[in-house]
């Protein structure tokens, strides 16, 4: 009787072990399937990210090539005009020099330097009055017509034009404030009601390695309501906060 019971117990143990082994194998298989599926998803995501990155890089290259071609075409027009303006200035005894400046401009509201575009400006060094100004292409075109008219009058009359009336002087511009560069200030700290102080570089196509100087800026929240002192950024939406 005891022997029969032992055989029955052994049989039950074997069946339990077999069931446990089958359960473990099924679990391992399920985990393997999950891992393979996850690996597949990760691969597909990485592949998509790689393809998106390649598309962005190709688009950036095409954009740069198009920008370079357009810039080259514009320079082909502007450079001869700048040379002509300098020759006219020399002929009419004006101590004013013209030169082409390539300026990197950021789109309004953008902080991504890769989105910067190159603009052609004409720098006008007025040695007569002691300052310089910058003209865009449209203004330079208009002034060139006036300069040519003055030169033709000089050739026709052999009399030097009268430049005392500055309103009709094609070379002259008043001394105005100029944008010498652009600085960028990250404002993320402000969303956590923290002071934001930085010594930001003034970036420009001129200057040493594109740096025209530094701009010290400090922004801090003032008179913050008590309920907003520890608020999360999303809690500030629609709230008035003085800086």
Distance from the Cα of residue 13 to its chain's centroid: 72
| Average pLDDT estimate for 3-7 | 57
pLDDT at residue number 209: 63
Confidence of residue 216 (pLDDT cuts 50, 70, 90): confident
The rounded distance, in Å, linking the Cα atoms of 136 and 120 is 7
Least reliable range by pLDDT among 24-28, 67-71, 161-165, 196-200:
196-200
C-alpha span between 227 and 148 (Å, rounded): 68
What's the whole-number mean pLDDT along residues 159-171?
88
Q: Which residues contact 189 (CB under 8 A, 6 or more apart)?
A: 195, 196
For the ranges 17-31, 92-106, 153-167, 201-215, the lowest mean pLDDT is seen at 201-215
Q: Which residues, in sequence order, are CB contacts of 46 under 8 Å at separation 6+?
A: none
Chain segment 61-84, per-residue pLDDT in tens: 887 788 888 888 888 999 999 999
């Amino acid at each position: 009787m005891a022997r029969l019971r032992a055989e029955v117990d052994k049989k039950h143990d074997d069946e339990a072990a077999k069931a446990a082994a089958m359960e473990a194998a099924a679990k391992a298989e399920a985990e393997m399937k999950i891992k393979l599926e996850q690996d597949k998803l990760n691969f597909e995501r990485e592949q998509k990210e790689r393809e998106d990155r390649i598309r962005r890089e190709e688009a950036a290259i095409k954009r740069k090539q198009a920008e370079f071609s357009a810039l080259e075409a514009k320079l082909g027009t502007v450079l001869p005009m700048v040379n002509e303006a300098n020759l006219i200035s020399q002929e009419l005894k004006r101590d004013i020099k013209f030169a082409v400046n390539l300026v990197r401009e950021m789109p309004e509201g953008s902080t991504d330097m890769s989105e910067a575009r190159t603009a052609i400006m004409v720098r006008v060094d007025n040695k007569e009055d002691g300052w310089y100004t910058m003209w865009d292409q449209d203004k330079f075109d208009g002034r060139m017509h006036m300069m040519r008219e003055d030169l033709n009058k000089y050739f026709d009359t052999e009399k030097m034009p009268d430049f005392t009336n500055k309103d009709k002087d094609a070379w002259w511009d008043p001394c105005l404030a100029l944008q010498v560069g652009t600085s960028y200030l990250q404002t993320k700290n402000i969303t956590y009601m923290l002071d934001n102080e930085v010594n930001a570089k003034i970036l420009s196509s001129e200057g040493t390695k594109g740096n025209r100087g530094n701009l010290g800026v400090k922004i801090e929240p003032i008179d913050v309501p008590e309920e907003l002192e520890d608020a999360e950024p999303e809690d500030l939406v629609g709230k008035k906060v003085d800086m």
